[in-house]
Amino acid sequence: MLILQNISYQHENKDMLFQNISFTLNHHEKTALVGNNGVGKSTLLKIIAGELQPFSGQIIHNSKPYFVPQLFGQFNGFTISEALQIKEKITSLKEILEGTVTEENLQLLNDDWTIEERCNEALSYWQLHDLDLEQKMGTLSGGQKTKVFLAGIMIHEPDLVLLDEPSNHLDFAGRTLLYDFIKSTSSKLLVVSHDRKLLNLLNKTLEMTKNEISVYGGNYDFYSEQKKIENNALEQDVQSKEKALKKAKEKERETIERQNKLDSRGKKKQEKSGVARIMMNTLRNKAENSSSKLKDVHAEKISGISEDLRQLRSSLPAIDQMKFGFENNSFLKGKTLFEASDINYAYGDKLLWKENLDFEILSGERLAIKGLNASGKTTLIKIILGELNPTQGQATSLTKKAIYIDQDYSLLNQNLTIYEQAQVFNDYGLEEHEIKMRLNRFLFSRNDWDKPCNALSGGERMRLMLCCLTISNESPEIIILDEPTNNLDIQNIEILTAAINEYKGTLIVISHDQSFLEQINIEKSISL
């Protein structure tokens, strides 16, 4: 059992990232940890793993967790055996088998006589047959590094496994292996991921905010349905408060108008009856005080309702606060935009694809380019964009405007501010206030406009990129997305999905995220 009691974490600058986080994981539970970017999910995993110390609180667990991190650059100088912390055991076993049976070797091995056998089985399962345990981690691809650490689970056989975005660098085959492992393992799992197919394999969902953990007793689809119910109730509360605020303001106006009429009528009566000036002043002061008190009462009520409404609106999901409005030019659906006839590409004297490619891309189509890592997906994209010519065959493009958006949103100039970047796409001649209205629509407030693009998170870059596309006068005939969900949390994936589904042009996507491909209605695929 894993128990967290009132865990808080404070940055070095004294800012509190989260506080009073408490939850329990029982034996064999497979649990998702979800929440918006920046809430501290990865930090919490590192605290449980013992890599960071909490500011306050207590963690109770009877064995050391096994942690698969999101990033592996810190291990580049290590060998595989060093990164997996098995080097000493493997060395001791080899020396013992060769006859060097010392007390030190026996202590280091600690009766783990099957360590080498488990290593071979684990590397074989994760399709890493060709790797040597003494190979440097820096020589491996991102997907191979992930698989090495996943193999470590089978080697160490831990009771608790912490996984931080484990499918990020895996291709389709790697993800399939991961899904099968998650279904079959008996270890407790705590998983941070935006891969919804993976999250649906887990039987419990924890939603993390800065001040609490909410527990949902089901997989991600169950969690999503519960959140929809909660958000619908929240939307109704917002509408109810909006009506209450409108009614309160009308009541204030009517009351003040009625009081002003009474005061005016009373003043005329007093003037007709010849009341002394000093008494008139006293009566006038009383009337003014009475009106002022009425105003204060209504102002206080309106202020209270307004604050309640502000808090309710701030709780709405970002996707419900944003408004999309792509300038969808009249795309001629079915028009041929690109045609490939018997094409292939060679690096040196070696052709990239076993079979030449024949396909066409039509206006309004939604297609995916699929293939394992290093299968030539990026090369094909460059041919479609006209950046490369095929080594053989014929490629014909009739596309006027195509935009390629990679997972780092490199189209954005890191040296510009948010407002300056928006202006780069302003070929429509929008006024300054119109640009700022568009930025507000995509959740960039006045305080964000001067923020440099290099300070933005993955989700913020995605929102700025979408905003820039809506600012541009001419919508691209083709939008190409290369692993667009890799650096996004689930909330931002939903924002991206909603925006893409409003786009009426041609969409080409490279992605290993099957749930994402389904939700953006991919119609066909090119397999490499």
**CA-based nearest residue to 69, from 126, 142, 157:** 142
Question: What order do you get walking across the sheet with 213-216 strand by strand?
Answer: 66-68, 160-164, 188-192, 30-34, 204-208, 213-216
Q: Which of 26-30, 82-86, 329-333 is predicted least confidently?
A: 329-333
- Compute CA 293 distance to the chain's CA centroid, rounded to the nearest angstrom: 50
- Compute CA 286 distance to the chain's CA centroid, rounded to the nearest angstrom: 60
Q: Which of 26-30, 111-115, 327-331, 443-447 is predicted least confidently?
A: 327-331
How many angstroms separate the CA atoms of 208 and 215, rounded?
9
* HEC assignment per residue over 18-66: EEEEEEEECCCCEEEEECCCCCCHHHHHHHHHCCCCCCEEEEECCCCCE
At 203, the pLDDT band (50, 70, 90 cuts) reads very high
At CB < 8 A and 24+ separation, what contacts does 257-262 make?
259/290, 259/291, 259/294, 260/291
pLDDT in tens, 263-292: 666 656 655 565 555 655 565 566 555 556
DSSP labels, 376-438: SHHHHHHHHHTSS--SEEEEEE--S-EEEE-TT-TTS-TTSBHHHHHHHT-TT---HHHHHHH
- Residues with Cβ < 8 Å from 312, sequence gap 6 or more? 234, 237, 238, 241
> Which run of H or E residues covers position 449?
none
Six-digit token pair at 393?
């065959």
pLDDT of 36 > 60? The answer is: yes
> What pLDDT does 292 receive?
60
> What pLDDT does 329 receive?
57
How many angstroms separate the CA atoms of 331 and 315, rounded?
37
Residue type, 156: H
At 293, the pLDDT band (50, 70, 90 cuts) reads low
Q: Are 488 and 194 in contact (CB under 8 A)?
A: yes
At CB < 8 A and 24+ separation, what contacts does 112-115 make?
115/86, 115/89, 115/90, 115/155
- Residues with Cβ < 8 Å from 125, sequence gap 6 or more? 151, 154, 177, 181
At 298, the pLDDT band (50, 70, 90 cuts) reads low
How many angstroms separate the CA atoms of 202 and 216, rounded?
11
How many angstroms separate the CA atoms of 171 and 473, rounded?
36
> What pLDDT does 283 receive?
52
| Phi then psi dihedrals of residue 406, to 5 deg | -90, 180
pLDDT in tens, 346-381: 988 889 998 999 999 999 899 999 887 778 888 999
Q: Which of 119-133, 317-331, 368-382 is predicted least confidently?
A: 317-331
**CA-based nearest residue to 376, from 336, 400, 343:** 343
- Model-wide pTM > 0.75: no
Most confident of 199-208, 235-244, 313-322: 199-208
User: Which neighbouring-strand residues pair with 43?
Assistant: none
How many angstroms separate the CA atoms of 36 and 10, rounded?
18
At 322, the pLDDT band (50, 70, 90 cuts) reads low
Mean pLDDT of 52-69: 91
- Strand-strand pairing, 346-347 and 350-351: antiparallel
User: Which neighbouring-strand residues pair with 343?
Assistant: 357
Residue type, 240: S
How many helical (H) and strand (E) elements, i.e. helices and strands, does the chain have? 17, 19
What sign for the dihedral angle of Cα 47, 52, 56, 62? positive
Q: Are 18 and 211 in contact (CB under 8 A)?
A: yes
Mean pLDDT of 311-337: 65
Residue type, 449: W
Six-digit token pair at 269?
């009566």
pLDDT of 496 > 80? The answer is: yes
DSSP structural state of residue 368: E
> What pLDDT does 368 receive?
94
- Please give the span between the terminal C-alpha atoms of the chain, in angstroms, as a whole number: 45
Mean pLDDT of 3-13: 89
| Phi then psi dihedrals of residue 93, to 5 deg | -60, -45
How many angstroms separate the CA atoms of 267 and 491, rounded?
62
What sign for the dihedral angle of Cα 86, 91, 92, 93? positive
Greatest extent of the chain over all pairs of C-alpha atoms, in Å: 124
pLDDT of 143 > 60? The answer is: yes
How many angstroms separate the CA atoms of 358 and 372, rounded?
19
Six-digit token pair at 293?
């008190």
pLDDT of 164 > 60? The answer is: yes
> What pLDDT does 127 receive?
93
pLDDT of 207 > 90? The answer is: yes
> What pLDDT does 289 receive?
59
> What pLDDT does 184 receive?
93
**CA-based nearest residue to 131, from 81, 97, 69, 181:** 81
Q: Are 331 and 363 in contact (CB under 8 A)?
A: yes
- Compute CA 323 distance to the chain's CA centroid, rounded to the nearest angstrom: 19
**What is the average pLDDT value for the chain, to the nearest integer?**
85
- Residues with Cβ < 8 Å from 472, sequence gap 6 or more? 327, 425, 426, 427, 428
**CA-based nearest residue to 345, from 300, 390, 405:** 390
Q: 3-state DSSP call for residue 357?
A: strand
> What pLDDT does 299 receive?
66
